[in-house]
């Protein structure tokens, strides 16, 4: 960036980002906000304005994640240095119409949870202690609202219950669940069954099988009028609290409330096994890499390279903009991937200024931001060790602030291709009499080489952005 952005511009950008986060824009910032199926919004989508009553959420996070088989409970496992539970909290907290998020954790994890809340600046969270089963934990979470002496947790009209280990939940669905819960008393998300459900005998023989098309998998989120679900938990049996797995069932059995069922997207699935963590990471990566901003320095070659790279990155939405304060700041709110193209040796000032802007608008708090610095080298010199060390040091400095910096050097020297410039071949070439033929041949070779370099540049840039590999930051790759 040539000139630092003014505070007013940054404040404006931050406000714009907040509006975009809260709006139904088609390219939101946060994974969870943008999943392909949500682009197809149904015509009967309820409007945001209709939520004119208090809505709170209870996220049970008091389990130990036995099926995951790790020592850390799955809700505290990290993706991009951020625990899963924080992604789920954010999915609720970002919605202005959700006033409070009660997170239920085991007593031993209380401090860990408070640290997460502090570190990721969650502002609507209240932490309460869980019980020995999921139902007991949910009940504890609901009780947080029943204490009339605690003004920090006023009783909501509708409460949404959602497992802490289901990080991808969209506003559309939360709205539908909330409105259906208000109208009907209870509502829940469902999915078609993947496998057929069968009943077995005690000797492990088939007893009978269910007609798959008639049944659905019960997922989360589920919504309830607070008074109904709280009453259901007060009335239910010890057996229910110990062995039950379905909140909708409690509302039906103990309050006579039939839940309205709403089909949700496949991304609602519950992180249960190790492979689910990898799947969650893949979804986050995919969502973070839908777009990029290519910023070209003023040199003619840099601008040309930017345009070519844009063509080669056709799997992503890209914009090419000149390096300058307005454009740079404006684009901060649109993507978390930046490709800076320059023909000069150092971009460290630009990188530091960008990182400062990210900090000012809190752009890298929740998700890592990628900067790929593409250096167009007009001479055939390879980077000296001081240059490499400086780049490494810069990358490790900005990594502390969740910015992943990678470098790619692309050689565009006017010298001949190495194969042709060997002494022997050069000698032969000098002997040529037909200069025009010789020049044409050399030129073709250079062009092919350049073409290959451009293709590799596109491929490597895409991989760096998609993979967001922490270990590769500070590397200066050569194409």
Ligand X SMILES: Nc1ccn([C@@H]2O[C@H](COP(=O)(O)OP(=O)(O)OP(=O)(O)O)[C@@H](O)[C@H]2O)c(=O)n1
How many chain residues bind ligand 5RP (CB under 6 A)?
Answer: 9
Binding site for ligand X (CB under 6 A): 60-67, 73, 75, 104, 130-134, 137, 163-165, 270, 272
The rounded Cα 302 to chain-centroid distance in angstroms is 30
- Which one among 57, 247, 408, 457 touches ligand 5RP, defined by CB under 6 A? 247
C-alpha 296/C-alpha 205 separation (Å) is 68
- Residue 253 lies near ligand 5RP (rule: CB under 6 A): no
Give the residue with the Cβ less far from ligand X, 41 or 67: 67
Q: Give the N- to C-terminal CA distance of the chain in Å, as an integer.
A: 25
Give the residue with the Cβ less far from ligand 5RP, 66 or 227: 66
The rounded Cα 2 to chain-centroid distance in angstroms is 30
* C-beta of residue 74 within 8 angstroms of C-beta of residue 273: no
Q: Which stretch binds ligand 5RP (CB under 6 A): 138-146, 214-222, 382-390, 446-454?
A: 214-222
Residues 119-158 that bind ligand 5RP (CB under 6 A): 134
**Cβ atoms < 10 Å from Cβ of 56:** 25
Beta strands in 120-215 (DSSP E): 125-129, 158-161, 186-192, 198-200, 206-209
From ligand X, ligand 5RP, none, which one binds at residue 65 (CB under 5 to 8 Å depending on kind)?
A: ligand X
Give the residue with the Cβ less far from ligand 5RP, 93 or 163: 163
Please give, one letter per residue, the 3-state secondary structure of 63-96: CCCHHHCCCCCHHHCEECCEEHHHHHHHHHHCCC
Give the residue with the Cβ less far from ligand X, 9 or 219: 219
**Cβ atoms < 10 Å from Cβ of 259:** 24
Cβ at position 410, least distance to ligand X in Å: 47
Give the residue with the Cβ less far from ligand X, 61 or 405: 61
- Residue 259 lies near ligand 5RP (rule: CB under 6 A): no
From ligand X, ligand 5RP, none, which one binds at residue 245 (CB under 5 to 8 Å depending on kind)?
A: ligand 5RP
- Residue 276 lies near ligand 5RP (rule: CB under 6 A): no
Give the residue with the Cβ less far from ligand X, 167 or 458: 167
311: Cβ–Cβ under 8 A, 6 or more apart, which residues?
Answer: none
C-alpha 87/C-alpha 167 separation (Å) is 6
- Residue 240 lies near ligand 5RP (rule: CB under 6 A): no
Give the residue with the Cβ less far from ligand 5RP, 53 or 243: 243
Phi-psi region of 474 (alpha: psi -120 to 50; beta: other; left: phi over 0): left
Q: Which residue has its beta carbon closest to ligand 5RP?
A: 245
C-alpha 309/C-alpha 341 separation (Å) is 10
- Helix, strand, coil share (%) of the chain residues, nearest 5: 45, 20, 35
Q: Which stretch binds ligand 5RP (CB under 6 A): 18-26, 168-176, 216-224, 277-285?
A: 216-224
Give the residue with the Cβ less far from ligand X, 165 or 174: 165
C-alpha 340/C-alpha 343 separation (Å) is 10
- Which one among 93, 219, 240, 411 touches ligand 5RP, defined by CB under 6 A? 219
**Cβ atoms < 10 Å from Cβ of 282:** 12
- Which one among 220, 262, 313, 404 touches ligand 5RP, defined by CB under 6 A? 220
- Residue 105 lies near ligand 5RP (rule: CB under 6 A): no
From ligand 5RP, ligand X, none, which one binds at residue 130 (CB under 5 to 8 Å depending on kind)?
A: ligand X
Residues 321-380 that bind ligand 5RP (CB under 6 A): none
From ligand X, ligand 5RP, none, which one binds at residue 374 (CB under 5 to 8 Å depending on kind)?
A: none
Give the residue with the Cβ less far from ligand X, 136 or 409: 136
DSSP letters for 214-267: G-EEEEEEEEEEHHHHHHHHHHS-HHHHHH---HHHHHHHHH--PPEEEE--GG
Residues 278-307 that bind ligand 5RP (CB under 6 A): none
Binding residues vs ligand 5RP (CB under 6 A): 134, 163, 218-220, 245-247, 270
């Amino acid at each position: 960036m040539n000139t630092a952005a003014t505070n007013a511009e940054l404040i404006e950008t931050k406000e714009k980002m907040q509006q975009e986060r809260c709006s139904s824009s088609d390219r939101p910032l946060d994974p969870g906000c943008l999943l392909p199926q949500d682009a197809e919004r149904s015509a009967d989508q309820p409007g945001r304005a209709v939520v004119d009553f208090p809505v709170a959420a209870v996220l049970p996070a008091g389990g130990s994640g036995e099926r995951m088989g790790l020592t850390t409970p799955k809700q505290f496992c990290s993706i991009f240095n951020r625990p899963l539970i924080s992604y789920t909290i954010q999915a609720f907290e970002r919605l202005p119409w959700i006033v409070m998020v009660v997170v239920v954790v085991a007593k031993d994890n209380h401090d860990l949870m408070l640290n997460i809340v502090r570190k990721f600046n969650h502002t609507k969270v209240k932490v309460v202690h869980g019980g020995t089963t999921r139902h007991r934990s949910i009940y504890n979470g609901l009780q947080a609202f029943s204490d009339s002496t605690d003004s920090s947790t006023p009783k909501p009209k509708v409460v949404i219950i959602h497992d802490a280990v289901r990080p991808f939940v969209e506003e559309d669905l939360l709205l539908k669940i909330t409105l259906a819960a208000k109208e009907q008393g209870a509502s829940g998300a469902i999915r078609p069954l993947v496998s057929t459900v069968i009943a077995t005998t005690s000797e492990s023989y088939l007893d009978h099988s269910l007609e798959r098309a008639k049944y659905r998998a019960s997922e989360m989120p589920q919504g309830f009028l607070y008074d109904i679900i709280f009453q259901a938990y007060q009335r239910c049996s010890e057996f229910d609290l110990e062995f039950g797995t379905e909140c909708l069932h409690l509302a039906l059995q103990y309050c006579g409330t039939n839940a309205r069922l709403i089909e949700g997207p496949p991304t609602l699935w519950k992180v249960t096994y190790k492979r689910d963590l990898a799947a969650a990471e893949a979804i986050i990566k995919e969502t973070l890499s839908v777009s990029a901003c290519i910023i070209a320095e003023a040199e003619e070659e840099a601008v040309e390279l930017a345009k070519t790279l844009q063509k080669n990155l056709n799997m992503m939405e890209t914009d090419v903009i000149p390096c300058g304060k307005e454009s740079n700041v404006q684009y901060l709110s649109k993507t978390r991937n930046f490709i800076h193209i320059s023909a000069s040796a150092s971009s460290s000032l630009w990188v530091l200024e960008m990182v400062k802007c990210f900090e000012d608008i809190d752009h890298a708090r929740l998700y890592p931001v990628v900067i790929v610095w593409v250096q167009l080298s007009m001479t055939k010199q390879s980077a000296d060790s001081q240059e490499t060390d400086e780049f490494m040091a810069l990358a490790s400095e900005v990594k502390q602030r969740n910015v992943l910096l990678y470098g790619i050097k692309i050689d565009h020297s006017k010298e001949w291709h190495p194969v042709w410039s060997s002494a022997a071949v050069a000698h032969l070439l000098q002997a040529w009499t037909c200069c025009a033929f010789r020049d044409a041949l050399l030129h073709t070779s250079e062009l092919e080489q350049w073409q290959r370099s451009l293709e590799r540049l596109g491929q490597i840039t895409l991989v760096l952005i998609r993979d967001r590999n922490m270990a590769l930051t500070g590397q200066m790759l050569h194409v």
